[in-house]
Each structure stands twice: as C-alpha cells, then as structure tokens.
Amino acid sequence: MVKLRSFIPFGMAIIIALITSVLIYSYLQKKTNVQEVTIETQPVAVAVIDLPWGTTLTNEMIKKVDFLKRSLPGDFFSEPSSLVGRVLIYPVKANEPIFESRLAPTNVKTGGVAAVISQKKRAVAVKVDKVIGVAGFIHPGSRVDVLITLTTGKAYHPVTKTILENLLVLAAGSDTKEKKGFEERASTTDVITLEVTPEEAEKLAMAVAEGKIQLALRNFNDTENVLTSGMTLPALLASYTLHGPGKETNAVTAKAVESRPPVSQPSPAPIAKEKVESKLPASQPSPAPVAKEKVEDKKSSFFIVEVIKGSKVNEVKFEGSE
C-alpha cells in the first residue's frame, strides 16, 4: 500500500505531461494550417531570356511563374498570350515580370528604335570608330556628351568645344556585349543612335559635317550640364607651364593670357627717319657756304673778264685788287 502511494504522484506527472504535449501539438498544427491558407500565389508572365528594349514579344520569349500575390503591383500579366505582339520600351531581365509600364502603347506594333523614342524627340545616327565610341563600352541606355574639334577664323585656329550634354543612347550598332566572369568585354560599334531634340539634331548634323566629333561617356546619376569656354591650341600648350621658380599655370590662366589684348608697339620707320635727320647736320656739313667763301676770297685777289669772239666765249683772269 505504501509503495502504491509513492507511484501516484509520478503517474500523475506523466499524465499531465502527455496532455500538455497533445495540446501544444494541436495548437502548432492549427497555426500551420492557418498560415498555409493565408499564403496565396499568382501566376505571372515573365521573360524567358534577357530582352532589350525595342523587342516585339513572342510566345517563345514569355513563360509563367508563380509569385506571391500580395507582393505584385497591379499592372502585371497572368497570361503570356496577352503580351504577344507588344513592344518593350525598357529592357527586361530573365525571370523578371513584364509590366504594362515597360511596354509601348498597344497601337505601336513595330519594334526597334522608333518604338522607344520619347515624345517630341528624334533619333540621330552617328558613325563612329573604336576611339570615338569610347572603346566600344557605349551601350543602349548609356549617357554621353558630344565634343567637336574644328578650325575657326581666317588663321584657322583649332578649337575643341562641348556642344551637347547628357544625350541618351538608343542603339549602339551591333550590340554584342559579353561577360567573362567579372570582366566585361567591349563590343564592336559602328553606328551610335542618339535621342535628341530637333535643335540638338541640327547641332549634331552640323558638327559631323564641319569637324571631328568625340563622345564622352558619363555616369548615369550625373545629369548636371557644365558650361565650358572651349580649348584652343595656345591654351593647351600653356598647360602646366613654368612661370618663375616653382610656379605653374593651368589652362585657365593660359586662356586669360591669350584673351589679353596685344600691346601696341610704335612703328620703327619714324624713329629711323629722326635719327637720320638728326645725324645729317652733325656728320656732313653743307659744302655750299665753304665754296661761297672761297669764291669771295678769290674775288678779292683777281677778277675774270669774258671775251666773246664770234660764237666762242672765253674767260680771261686778271690779278689785282678792287
């Protein structure tokens, strides 16, 4: 009887533990079921491969992938068939949803550059080489500045000037961008198409016709326009020129020196004339007075008589005083 009483507390502890375990298991099971019910997915049309802008979508380019419904914006597409024939105006990566905001209007059925030109803008193609195309690293979506080098004035002084800034690159020849690990390989570029306003299109056409252009690649976040006065040959050669011991000047100082009006120098002709006129009386006295004095002296010692015989005239000198 004593032994039985000692086992009662132990048995009750086991029963309480079992009941607690069952209750906890039931609670967790119900919570898991609730979570499974609240998580909803939605089939979304995504790109099969990387698609550049200007691409006309086909069935082979689109597939369906399940996404969390509450994480999707409202302009997604569930059926790939609804996207066939639409044109992309922004690039789309593989497995990225295709949204309405990345598509051209439904009335645009032709792909290419014409589909991605903004309103009131124009597309102008510029023929370039590897140097002008920044070694082939200009791709669609890049931002560039346009510089021109040409000769001006009657003396044909060369000058380089930035004429257009922050232009959008719509296309870059046959874009064959490749990556090998973390290293980007440059693509061969023959023609670069820029998005410009009508006024900028006129400037670009004039620059290509009259001089040599150069493209400068800029950062995507750098949208500030910089005003420059251009670079001339004298200012270029004056860069980092010594002016006195240990003093240097830059291109800005050189421009200031170049723009300074030239100092006028007196003509050397009047100076030479004055010197000649001033030296003539001192170095060579006039002989006329001397000859006159000699003649007057001679008159005091002799006189001359002219003797006319027919057509002949002879002079006869007679010595004596007056």
Res 278 pLDDT > 80 = no
Res 210 pLDDT > 70 = yes
The pLDDT value given to residue 238: 86
Region 177-196 average pLDDT: 64
pLDDT tens digits, one per residue of 13-51: 888 888 888 888 888 877 665 455 557 888 999 999 999
The pLDDT value given to residue 25: 84
CATH number of 41-114: 3.90.1210.10
The pLDDT value given to residue 33: 58
Q: Which of 63-77, 122-136, 158-172, 307-321 has the lowest mean pLDDT?
A: 307-321
Res 171 pLDDT > 70 = yes
The pLDDT value given to residue 319: 67
* Distance between CA atoms of residues 17 and 285, nearest Å: 148
275: Cβ–Cβ under 8 A, 6 or more apart, which residues? Answer: none
Higher pLDDT, 315 or 179: 315
Region 98-112 average pLDDT: 80
pLDDT tens digits, one per residue of 125-170: 888 877 777 777 888 888 999 999 998 877 778 999 999 999 998 8
76: Cβ–Cβ under 8 A, 6 or more apart, which residues? Answer: 42, 44, 45, 67, 97, 98, 99
The whole-chain average pLDDT of the chain stands at: 75
Residue 177's pLDDT band (cuts 50, 70, 90): very low
Given a contact cutoff of 8 angstroms between Cβ atoms, the answer to whether 76 and 97 are in contact is yes
315: tokens are: 């002079």
Dihedral-angle region of residue 320 (phi above 0 means left; psi in -120 to 50 means alpha; beta otherwise): left
* Distance between CA atoms of residues 159 and 157, nearest Å: 7
The pLDDT value given to residue 283: 47
Share of the chain above pLDDT 90, in %: 20
Torsion of CA 85, 87, 88, 92, to 10 degrees: 20
pLDDT tens digits, one per residue of 224-238: 888 998 998 888 888
Res 180 pLDDT > 60 = no
Q: Where are the domains of the chain?
A: 41-114, 118-228, 231-260, 286-322
